[in-house]
Amino acid sequence: MGKRSRQRQKNQTPGRDRDSAGWGAGYADIVKENKLFEHYYKEQGLVPEGEFEQFMEAMREPLPATIRITGYKSHAKEILHCLKEKYFKDIQDLEIDGQKIEAPQALSWYPDEQAWHTNMSRKIIRKSPLLEKFHQFLVSETESGNISRQEAVSMIPPLLMKIEPHHKILDMCAAPGSKTAQLIEMLHADMDVPFPEGFVIANDVDNKRCYLLVHQAKRLNSPCIMVVNHDASCIPTLQIDSNGKKDILFYDRVLCDVPCSGDGTMRKNIDVWKKWTTSNSLHLHGLQLRIAVRGVEQLAVGGRMVYSTCSLNPVEDEAVIAALLEKSEGALELADSSADLPGLKWMPGVTSWKLMTKEGQWFSDWSVVPSSRHTQIRPTMFPPKDPEKLASMHLERCMRILPHHQNTGGFFVAVLVKKAPMPWNKRYPKSCQLAGLINKGRLLSHCKEKKLLFPGKIKNPLHCRPPPSKKMKLFGYKEDPFVFLTEDDPVFTTIQSFYDLSPDFPKLNVLTRTHEGKKRHLYMVSKELRNVLLNNSERMKVINTGVKVWSRNSDGEAFGCAFRLAQEGIYTLQPYIRSRIIQVSVEDIKVLLTQENPFLSKLEDDAHAQAKKLGMGSIVLKYIPNPNNLTEPQCPIQLCGWRGKTSIRAFVPRNERFHYLRMLGVEWHQPFQLLMFREIYITSHFLQL
């Protein structure tokens, strides 16, 4: 490894600066040219006449930096206010290294000005002293999960899903998780509801990428997300308890953002220029179709599935949709989403396309493909031949985003609505039904009636059943178990009395990650996710679920409870806590977040009086906005803290501290001990303060 690295350094171009390429840093030696790519897309006619040169010029330009404000509605509004009033104003009319810096512009089609783009490269943002504050803001807010650096076109699929808080959602190929984060935010549209009825099951086939997905999802601290690790093309069917009986879990929404050749990402993934060939699409088409088929199988009737790729190639786009519609025999319909994102420019899906091999040989119909190519080129890759059938599919309802129209990456998206069960689910009865018919000697008459074909004689009637499912193979790390607590678990005795939990607190939704020994952390999931977990432990590999609400603090036993509150789950848990709450003002929060262990007397009179009435131990610090004072934050703030003997302390991770201080108008740069604060846990020395 060392030799290879030294050799690579020796061969690098002298004076090459990694940052000089902006978004394409590290790829300066790659020529942004691919004759086969140009020839292929010219022939396909996807780009409007007279625009092909603009299209290619845009593909060679670096992708603009794009950010999306994440988090839940009231907090997102505060971040937006902070961005517009403080940072964007400072950027206006700046000129750096001879380049005029444009102030960030809101994406016209993204609701509520929650997404912005700018022509600034990474180098400029990182290196310019004039933009230092803005850079610190971006880094800090990204780490705390309040801002997501997400490509503009990547934001489109979740918006077209039309998520409601009660929806059960499957994200089939979810890593790295930016779209998953959008889905979670939409579930929590109402911050006053700690447990929405809906949930997101986010899946990825790559075990390592699943942990990246967990990192993204954890920033949103939701009890309604579960990360699982499966091949999306055969993701297991899950069961749930419904009115006392087992039922199949069908999803209200499915996001099918499939693996693709990625030629729409050439502006940021520069190596695609060198690696692009038509073989990539031909190899991926079958997998994409299998994943899409599995998605619609798991979709509830009346539900919506969004199929998307970051490829412009019809073989990966319209061909998959056409094959899916044909297989569905009318059970699926392409939805017209033309009015859903006003301001977004897109091209309608195409109804004719051709295939090309990497050698440059073209095929416009399956009938002319030589048999030697049949393993590589399949019939589903071509447009349907029947004009009537093709017209009924309404492929023009698909949306293709071209880079030069709004300075974005390339993208394809289609919205499918399920009108009826898939025909193969209706056509074949369940094995137990077949067994009953066999035993009654009515199998043949049933088959004739239903037009089912069973070739040859059935020697053993039970052979018509599907084979028993194989035991699931687990790859990657072995995860700790998910163990739900019972209502009478001894751990609740002190927690219940110490925090005076309300009677409707859902104890059954609390879980831990160990069968034996002391419970270190307690997590909460929604009732619906608990149902999924309890009924499918043998069917699926769960990587992570639940939001941490309590952590063991052995020294706390002396003060009445061994578990202190965790900041991650405070917004989920606080509605059920009826004691240990101190209502604080803006000035109190400033003190708590900028001083390590302020004395109780540093609080304003009202908060000081409340604190004096409480014994030592874990507390909730709660700020309630005053609608009559618009100079103060208009969103609720809840912090975990510790009431010591003579002092008080906020237990808040470093970047969250910066986040809340910015919302209060404080720009904090002092290195001081704050930078060394650990998110968790204090020594017994501090407990005694």
How far are the Cα atoms of 210, 453, 527, 534 from residue 241, in angstroms, in the given order? Answer: 27, 34, 11, 9
* 120, 165: one domain: no
CATH of the domain at 368: 3.40.50
* 143, 270: one domain: no
* 288, 397: one domain: yes
pLDDT at 10: 40
31-69 residue pLDDT tens:
899 999 999 999 999 999 999 999 999 999 989 889 999
In a domain, 203, yes or no: no
In a domain, 466, yes or no: no
Structure tokens, 138: 């971006």
Domain with 656 in it: 580-680
**173 appears as a binding residue in the annotation:** yes
In a domain, 564, yes or no: no
Structure tokens, 101: 């810096």
Question: Regarding beta strands 225-228 and 199-203, do their DSSP bridges make them parallel or antiparallel, or are they unpaired?
Answer: parallel
pLDDT at 239: 96
Proportion of the chain above pLDDT 90, given as a percent = 64
**601 appears as a binding residue in the annotation:** no
Structure tokens, 204: 């990825």
**133 appears as a binding residue in the annotation:** no
pLDDT at 339: 95
In a domain, 379, yes or no: yes
In a domain, 190, yes or no: no
The residue among 396, 418, 440 that closes a domain is: 418
* 307, 370: one domain: yes
Closest listed residue to residue 284, CA positions, set 257, 259, 314:
259
Residues marked active site are found at: 310
**263 appears as a binding residue in the annotation:** no
* 99, 165: one domain: no
* 340, 410: one domain: yes
Cα 382 from Cα 510, distance rounded (Å) = 52
Cα 205 from Cα 182, distance rounded (Å) = 20
580-614 residue pLDDT tens:
999 999 999 999 999 989 999 999 999 999 999 99
- Neighbouring CB atoms inside 10 A of 242's CB total 11
* 145, 166: one domain: no
**561 appears as a binding residue in the annotation:** no
**179 appears as a binding residue in the annotation:** yes
What letter would DSSP give residue 224?
A: T
Examine the pLDDT at 182 and tell me if it is beyond 80: yes
The residue among 400, 418, 436 that closes a domain is: 418
Cα 437 from Cα 228, distance rounded (Å) = 38
Number of domains, the chain: 3
In a domain, 201, yes or no: no
In a domain, 5, yes or no: no
Bridge partners (DSSP) listed for residue 248: 239
Question: Regarding beta strands 251-257 and 299-309, do their DSSP bridges make them parallel or antiparallel, or are they unpaired?
Answer: parallel
* 142, 251: one domain: no
**257 appears as a binding residue in the annotation:** yes
How many residues belong to the chain?
Answer: 689
Question: Regarding beta strands 411-418 and 299-309, do their DSSP bridges make them parallel or antiparallel, or are they unpaired?
Answer: antiparallel
* 76, 165: one domain: no
pLDDT at 476: 57
Q: What is the DSSP string of 145-174?
A: TSEE---GGGGHHHHHT---TT-EEEETT-
Q: What is the DSSP string of 100-134?
A: EEPPPEE-TTSGGG-EEEES--HHHHHH-GGGHHH
Q: If DSSP codes are grouped into helix, strand and coil, which group holds residue 260? A: coil
Residue 437: what are its φ and ψ, rounded to 5°? -65, -35
* 79, 167: one domain: no
Q: What is the mean pLDDT of residues 163-176?
A: 96
* 606, 633: one domain: yes
Cα 689 from Cα 677, distance rounded (Å) = 17
In a domain, 239, yes or no: yes
Type of residue numbered 533? L
Closest listed residue to residue 383, CA positions, set 395, 371, 400, 369:
395
Would you place residue 459 in the very low, low, confident or very high pLDDT band (cuts 50, 70, 90)?
very low
- Neighbouring CB atoms inside 10 A of 88's CB total 16
* 268, 143: one domain: no
521-530 residue pLDDT tens:
999 999 999 9
